[in-house]
Structure 1
Amino acid sequence: MEDPYCPRPIHAIVMPVPLQGHVIPAVNLALKLASNGFTITFINNEIIRHKITTSHPPANFDGSENDIFCGARECGLDIRHRTVGDGFPLSFDRLANDERYLEEGQLHAVPVLMDELVGDIVKEARDPPVSCLIADGFFTWPSMIAEKYDLVFVSFWTEPALVFTLYYHLDLLKTNGHYASHDNREDTIDYIPGVKAIEPKDLPSYLQETDVSTVMHRLIDVAFKDVKRADFVLCNTVEELESKPISALQEKQPFYAIGPLFPSGLTKGVVPTSLRPESNCTQWLNTKPHGSVLYVSFGSFLTSRKSDIDEIALGLALSKVNFIWVLRHDVVSYEEPYVLPIEFEEVKDRGLTVTWTNQAEVISHPSIGGFLTHCGWNSTLESIWCGVPMLCFPLTTDQITNKKLIVDDWKIGLNLSDGKPLTRFDVAAKINRLMSGKSSAELKTETMKVRQILRNALASNGSSEKNLCQFIANVKAKISK
């Protein structure tokens, strides 16, 4: 029977920022919406499509189309796949030339190319017609395109609500001298709606910098002016974990916590999303005792100081724990591959180093007992979901604020560095605190409590499921007007 308020399925265009940590939740959002009756046209950047299709066996795709969603369609989901350029050839190194890429590509080329592509999709799609644009909150163009083609504009936020509200209130931070000042204030910030108090050292890294003339700062400023024009905001978080900032944001705009956005049971999904070839670690993990392995990963693209990575390697050697380390060749530099200290050779019998793996499969394995992490939001949610306490080594952006949530608010992790230079002895001591003894047991207990909150949210009557249903009802009502 047709819904009298929305006689045809909602057809939504979904577009993620072209980074691994944004693509994964956007794909999972697309799958979730399609499972709830949406028709989805998912737009990937050409470089993302290229990396995914070259990182996975051809059997995953629809012949020459390289369509990553063919498995989803085989499951009965109506998801179409399109790609868009960014003004640069595939061979252009976007990470090594990030300033130019952001300026010429994301700020200038992509809005024009997206306007053309969305216009084409709107003209082509008649069954059902496009009615909704869901775009990452870091984009600068969605409101303009949504208005031009008369689409409902949904902003999708892939980080915690706390980080969203800090960016949302840049004007308050500026007015009070905590941001965009040559001498930023260092006292406690206690005036952000829904945030009782936060220290400047716990702000996202971009909000701690004194030079705000960079292209990234301009992008954030424009993007959050755009976000404030969204009809709805979806956030990959859980209401019970961030109730105060979410409640305050809901007074400004319709804001829905619908996370965590995982494939069912955190299993390998029907849509490939990895931008790198994955090593299978299951056989090695099967040989290790329950809870004995430390998983180490610092994300998909950010670099660290060589001295820090050296000390982490030597700390792992001193700690005596079993470990899997996702050690990218470009973990220190995009120009020169990283070489481990010679002393690290001694620990290869109890450790496994790989350049990339399926994190969800590894972290959900019973032998994993801890996670040394950069505190990316996807990694944080996956670690909690699997009941794995964290040792926190944030590198930049939201990771610094995520660490505050993990260590100070939820008490499910430890700081690795505490702002001091890393030493192998401190690294080994912190690893052992995470993996064994009284401290480890306390962290595990708290992690299991937060894990239950996540699982309750995704239950049939949980907050995230209710919020998703409310969002869908509200979108249908808006479209039918």
Structure 2
Amino acid sequence: MAGTNRKPHAIMLPYPYQGHINPFVHLAIKLASRGFTITFVLTQSVHHQISRARNAAAAGHNADIFAKARHSGLDIRCTTVPDGFPLSFDRSLNHDQFVEGLIHVFSAHVDDLVGNLINSAAESESPPTCFIADTFYVWGSAIASKYNLVHVSFWTEPALVLTLYYHLDLLRRNGHFASPANRRDTIDYIPGVRAIEPADLMSYLQSPDIWTVVHRVIYRAFEDVKKADIIICNTIQELEPETISALHSQQPTFAIGPVFASGFAKSTVTVTTSLWSESDCTQWLQRKGKGSVLYVSFGSYAHTSKNDIVEIAHGLAASGASFIWVVRPDIVSSDETDFLPPGFEERVRDRGLVVPWCSQIAVISHPAIGGFLTHGGWNSILESIWCSVPLICFPLVTDQFTNRKLVVDDWEIGINLCDKGSITRQEVAEKIGCLMNGEKLDGLRERIRAVRQKLEGALSRDGSSERNFNDFVEKMEVRSRKKLGMITANGH
């Protein structure tokens, strides 16, 4: 029968931020390695940023991020779709307007793309049968349902964060969220969560204003995820066993992480997805002793205040530690780019390197790196664990406060940067000293190596993440065959 030997074909749609794109790209490679056809969808803006960054690094560089993957035999096609805004529109400066567009406008462009992909599938090709969309899209189930696709919701953060959002109704009912005076006592009624303090909830669940555009995304997205056929999480069973189990009892949920870059996952396929041109720090690091350098980065998305940047700069200078500090030009805002203290770089030039962006994996995997001062993004945490680099946590927004709880309280592989209400240069210098040379250092390193072993075990041939990935693939393949059978029976 025509079509019975067709491969499963997944459309993959990451949220248009660096921290979401990276795990999506590596999942695409992993699925393609298992025989899937992948249509990977980037917004035109993201594709433009990646292309510009690659061309800055090497003039004339191929802008197709999956060219090497296809050359190695993987069937990954990359396509673009408009997000509803012109390329010149500053999505960082106009964050709320941009997110409104993702809710109300972007879905129409995605709908049009999916429809065209299905209608234009040649008889000899595999039509799309799966839609793997970021959990934060509020309309994933509607598009999957319209085109009769298997809907996979890909959650790129820890399962703890997913389950807290998943059970917003319980937090509301018990007065810990959306209450005139939110309760401040311990939360001990969320399925799969032993206990959590309100101060460790995601920033949006601590905010008094609960009707921002991001809150509206959260409300809709975490109702929509309950309609997904399958949920996959970039975490591992051994780190969050009770949480994953509780989610799985609600609907099929698979911990398939860490979904890593090729250098970590022992793959021969490399994909460059940086939205900014990367500085090469290798030669500078080569001159430093083992474990002597602190890496400082607050990720690709979060913003902080000029005062915090100034206090961190003075703290770094006073600490005496060698460091690489990634200072995004828009770390404060797109409008304000002059925020480092006058003369700072000259003052620390013998032991400090300030760069606008770099390959984080290349830096933290270098033997000279001994610690990581981080905002606590989930990718950064997983990468630090893999490289056995202890952490100083300085959460800024969203899941980072909850991630900090996992790192500092549950796994004890890092410390807080700020124990008080506001950050000071004295505490910054003190915490850097504690991480790099203090009495706690040996214990932190020992515990992070133990957690790394869990990650390694999960990714081994018989590990939990490999088993879960196989189960997830099998479930998708079964459902895809059913879809293909229906398509063939209908003569399409």
Structure-1-length-normalised TM-score: 0.96
Q: Partner of 1:144 in structure 2?
A: 142
Structure 1 residue 101: Cα displacement:
1.4
Q: Partner of 2:335 in structure 1?
A: 335
Which of 114, 117, 120 is the matching residue for 2:116? 120
After superposition, residues 294-373 of structure 1 pair within 5 angstroms as 294-342=294-342, 344=344, 345-373=346-374
Question: After the TM superposition, which of the residue ranges 332-341 and 145-154 deviates more from structure 2?
Answer: 332-341
Q: Partner of 1:12 in structure 2?
A: 10
1:86 aligned partner, one-letter code: D
1:88 aligns with 2:85: yes
Q: Partner of 1:441 in structure 2?
A: 442
Structure 1 residue 333: Cα displacement:
2.0
- Counting aligned pairs with the same residue, the percent is 56
2:147 aligned partner, one-letter code: Y
Contact 1:183 1:210 (8 Å CA) reproduced: no
Give per-residue Cα distances to partners, 1:324-375, cap 9 Å, x unaligned: 0001122112201033213523111101110000000000000000000000
After superposition, residues 203-352 of structure 1 pair within 5 angstroms as 203-266=201-264, 270-342=270-342, 344=344, 345-352=346-353
Q: Distance in 2 between matches of 1:473 and 1:260?
A: 19
- Aligned-residue RMSD, C-alpha: 1.9
1:133 aligns with 2:134: no
Q: Partner of 1:378 in structure 2?
A: 379
Secondary structure in 2 matching 1:90: coil
1:467 aligns with 2:463: no
Contact 1:6 1:479 (8 Å CA) reproduced: no
2:223 aligned partner, one-letter code: K
Structure 1 residue 100: Cα displacement:
1.3
Distance 1:287 1:58, change over 3 A: closer
Secondary structure in 1 matching 2:222: helix
After superposition, residues 425-436 of structure 1 pair within 5 angstroms as 425-436=426-437
Give per-residue Cα distances to partners, 1:72-105, cap 9 Å, x unaligned: 10111100011111111000111111111111x1
Q: Distance in 2 between matches of 1:42 and 1:90?
A: 20
Secondary structure in 2 matching 1:57: helix
Secondary structure in 1 matching 2:39: strand
Contact 1:314 1:343 (8 Å CA) reproduced: no
Q: Partner of 1:109 in structure 2?
A: 105
Give per-residue Cα distances to partners, 1:259-308, cap 9 Å, x unaligned: 11112332896221100000000011011000000000001132111111
Give per-residue Cα distances to partners, 1:375-399, cap 9 Å, x unaligned: 0000000000000000000100001
Contact 2:54 2:61 (8 Å CA) reproduced: no
Q: Distance in 2 between matches of 1:152 and 1:265?
A: 31
Structure 1 residue 62: Cα displacement:
9.8
Q: What is the total number of aligned residue pairs between the two structures?
A: 477
Structure 1 residue 59: Cα displacement:
9.6
2:206 aligned partner, one-letter code: Q
1:78 aligned partner, one-letter code: D
Q: Distance in 2 between matches of 1:12 and 1:25?
A: 15
Contact 2:158 2:234 (8 Å CA) reproduced: yes
Distance 1:343 1:425, change over 3 A: farther
Structure 1 residue 129: Cα displacement:
1.3
Structure 1 residue 402: Cα displacement:
0.3
Structure 1 residue 27: Cα displacement:
0.5
Secondary structure in 1 matching 2:41: strand
Structure 1 residue 6: Cα displacement:
6.8
Distance 1:62 1:137, change over 3 A: farther
Secondary structure in 2 matching 1:340: coil
2:309 aligned partner, one-letter code: I
Contact 2:152 2:232 (8 Å CA) reproduced: yes
Structure 2 gaps, min length 5? 483-492
2:102 aligned partner, one-letter code: Q
Q: Distance in 2 between matches of 1:71 and 1:419?
A: 48
Give per-residue Cα distances to partners, 1:35-64, cap 9 Å, x unaligned: 111100000011100000000038989988
Q: Partner of 1:173 in structure 2?
A: 171
Distance 1:381 1:63, change over 3 A: closer
2:366 aligned partner, one-letter code: H
Q: Partner of 2:180 in structure 1?
A: 182
Which of 73, 77, 81 is the matching residue for 2:74? 77
Distance 1:174 1:6, change over 3 A: farther
1:391 aligned partner, one-letter code: I
Contact 2:8 2:481 (8 Å CA) reproduced: no
Distance 1:238 1:431, change over 3 A: same
Q: Partner of 1:56 in structure 2?
A: 54
Structure 1 residue 119: Cα displacement:
0.2
Secondary structure in 2 matching 1:26: helix
Question: After the TM superposition, which of the residue ranges 232-241 and 90-99 deviates more from structure 2?
Answer: 90-99
Q: Distance in 1 between matches of 2:6 and 2:33?
A: 15
Question: After the TM superposition, which of the residue ranges 455-464 and 52-61 deviates more from structure 2?
Answer: 52-61
Structure 1 residue 478: Cα displacement:
2.1
Structure-2-length-normalised TM-score: 0.94
Q: Distance in 2 between matches of 1:374 and 1:107?
A: 26
Contact 1:314 1:424 (8 Å CA) reproduced: yes
Distance 1:220 1:336, change over 3 A: same
Contact 2:392 2:414 (8 Å CA) reproduced: yes
2:64 aligned partner, one-letter code: D
